[in-house]
């Protein structure tokens, strides 16, 4: 099995993360980028990364589903304070199916992008039904490293995102989702990352980080390119994006 990096996993949501981490190491996963969603999840993510240095690399964030006006200030302050220990800021973004009003989501996202810019960190973006706006906002914030995770936006936006040097990631949803497959087929190798979004349930597959190998095989299938070649490109991209050069 080729060496791969899982660039998006919610390790804090696994019942037994240490076993899943060992399983990933045994399955030729070189590293995991663990993402946070709120203060509690960010704390757990940082703790877990502390226990697995050189393998679990933390990102902290504020997921659009978790926005809560009582916690906004505290969460943003926590991110600002702890981002220096992280490889990226995420998971953050915009989701027009989430309960928080669009205007409020955008205002918080804008504040978050300013924090990322100040710390010069990549941003891991969740977006649903709002890719164009998210793309415009990250550009306007002057960000150089952005990951549109589980890319499922419009096909005609892909070359524009790629032209900015931003990344788009593939998930095991390639197993059954023709729309995600079409999108990933169109993403240039230079802008592609692999992930699992652990612990998402993909039909019968309950994702763990080792399943980034499934993402790899499915990406190879939809792109018609050998898995070794996809692995080489996406691993290089992940190293460059998250500054994992020492790996
Ligand atoms: Zn996620």
Distance 237 CA to ligand 1 centre (A): 19
Q: What is the pLDDT of residues 226-244, one digit of tens each?
A: 999 999 999 999 999 999 9
Distance 82 CA to ligand 1 centre (A): 20
Q: What burial letters (b/e) apply to 146-179, b meaning 16+ CB within 10 Å?
A: bbbbbbbbeeebbeebbeeebbbbbbbbbbebee
Q: What is the pLDDT of residues 165-209, one digit of tens each?
A: 999 999 999 999 999 999 999 999 999 999 999 999 999 999 999
**Which residue bears the tokens 């589903």?**
65
Please give the structure tokens belonging to residue 207.
């994702």
Distance 224 CA to ligand 1 centre (A): 27
Distance CA(187)–CA(167), nearest Å, equals 9
Distance 10 CA to ligand 1 centre (A): 6
What are 142-146's contacts with CB under 8 Å, separation 24+? 142/117, 143/113, 143/116, 143/117, 145/88, 145/121, 145/241, 146/122
- Given a cut of 90, whether residue 245 has pLDDT beyond it is no
pLDDT of residue 246: 75
pTM above 0.75, yes or no: yes
Could you say which DSSP state residue 17 is in?
H
Distance 91 CA to ligand 1 centre (A): 6
pLDDT of residue 32: 98
Average pLDDT, the chain: 97
Q: Which domains does the chain show, CATH number per domain?
A: 4-242 (3.20.20.140)
- Given a cut of 90, whether residue 71 has pLDDT beyond it is yes
pLDDT of residue 50: 97
Q: What is the pLDDT of residues 102-134, one digit of tens each?
A: 999 999 999 999 999 999 999 999 999 999 999
To 10 degrees, the CA torsion angle through 160, 166, 167, 168? -40
201: Cβ contacts below 8 Å, ≥ 6 apart: 207
Distance 150 CA to ligand 1 centre (A): 8
């Amino acid at each position: 099995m080729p060496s791969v990096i899982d660039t998006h996993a919610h390790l804090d949501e696994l019942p037994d993360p240490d076993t899943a981490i060992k399983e990933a190491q045994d399955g030729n996963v070189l590293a995991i980028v663990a993402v946070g969603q709120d203060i509690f999840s960010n704390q757990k993510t940082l703790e877990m990364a502390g226990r697995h240095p050189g393998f679990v690399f933390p990102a902290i964030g504020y997921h659009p589903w978790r926005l809560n006006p009582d916690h906004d200030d505290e969460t943003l302050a926590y991110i600002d304070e702890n981002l220096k220990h992280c490889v990226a800021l995420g998971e953050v973004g915009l989701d027009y199916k989430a309960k928080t009003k669009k205007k409020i989501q955008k205002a918080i996202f804008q504040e978050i992008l300013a924090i990322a810019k100040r710390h010069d960190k990549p941003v891991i973006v969740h977006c649903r039904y709002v890719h164009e706006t998210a793309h415009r906002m990250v550009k306007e914030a002057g960000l150089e490293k952005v990951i549109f995770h589980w890319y499922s936006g419009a096909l005609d936006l892909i070359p524009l995102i790629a032209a900015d040097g931003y990344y788009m990631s593939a998930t095991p949803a390639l197993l059954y989702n023709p729309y995600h497959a079409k999108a990933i087929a169109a993403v240039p190798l230079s802008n592609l990352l692999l992930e699992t979004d652990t612990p998402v349930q993909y039909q019968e597959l309950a994702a763990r980080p080792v399943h980034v190998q499934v993402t790899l095989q499915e990406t190879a299938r939809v792109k018609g390119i050998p898995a070794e070649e996809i692995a080489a490109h996406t691993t290089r991209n992940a190293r460059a994006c998250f500054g994992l050069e020492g790996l």
